[in-house]
Copies of this chain bind each other. A is one copy, B any other.
């Protein structure tokens, strides 16, 4: 599993409603990116996790994008560090192992079935397999 198999982009701009905070929101993406990177490193994975300033989804924090050269790109929202870290890692491993980025429905964790924001096919010139 390497950058060639998958790069994970994590949006750090999205605001999550938090009535208990003075500002009324927090921005949980950076903490998710850090926790996800740590978890992958602990597993010996070389999948890179890149914080991104804005994926322009905005209303579904945290949002992440799975992308790789020659594969479909998937955008997934509504992810939380506290509850979904294991599912994100599992989904990442399945995506990285896939030929084209499309993981069978039954192999997708619940948060990845519900959270799809969009997907984009690979460029024709760079399609694999």
Q: Taking beta carbons and an 8 Å cutoff, which residues of A are in contact with B?
A: 3, 7, 9, 48, 50, 52, 54-57, 63, 65, 67-69, 73-75, 116-121, 123-126
Contact = CB atoms under 8 A, between A and B. Distances in A.
Contacts of A126: 69
Contacts of A52: 121
Q: Specify which of A65, A68, A123 lies most central, judged by the most chain B CB atoms within 10 Å of its CB.
A: A123
A7 B73 CA distance: 15
Contacts of A74: 56
Given A50-B124, A123-B7, A124-B3, A118 B56 contact: yes
Contacts of A124: 3, 7, 48, 50
Given A48-B124, A117-B117, 17 more contacts: A7-B123, A7-B124, A9-B120, A9-B121, A55-B118, A55-B119, A56-B116, A56-B117, A65-B118, A67-B120, A67-B123, A69-B126, A73-B73, A75-B75, A75-B120, A117-B118, A118-B118
Nearest to A119: B56
Contacts of A125: 3, 69
16 contacts: A3-B124, A3-B125, A9-B121, A55-B118, A55-B119, A56-B74, A56-B117, A56-B119, A65-B120, A67-B120, A67-B123, A68-B123, A69-B126, A73-B120, A75-B118, A120-B120
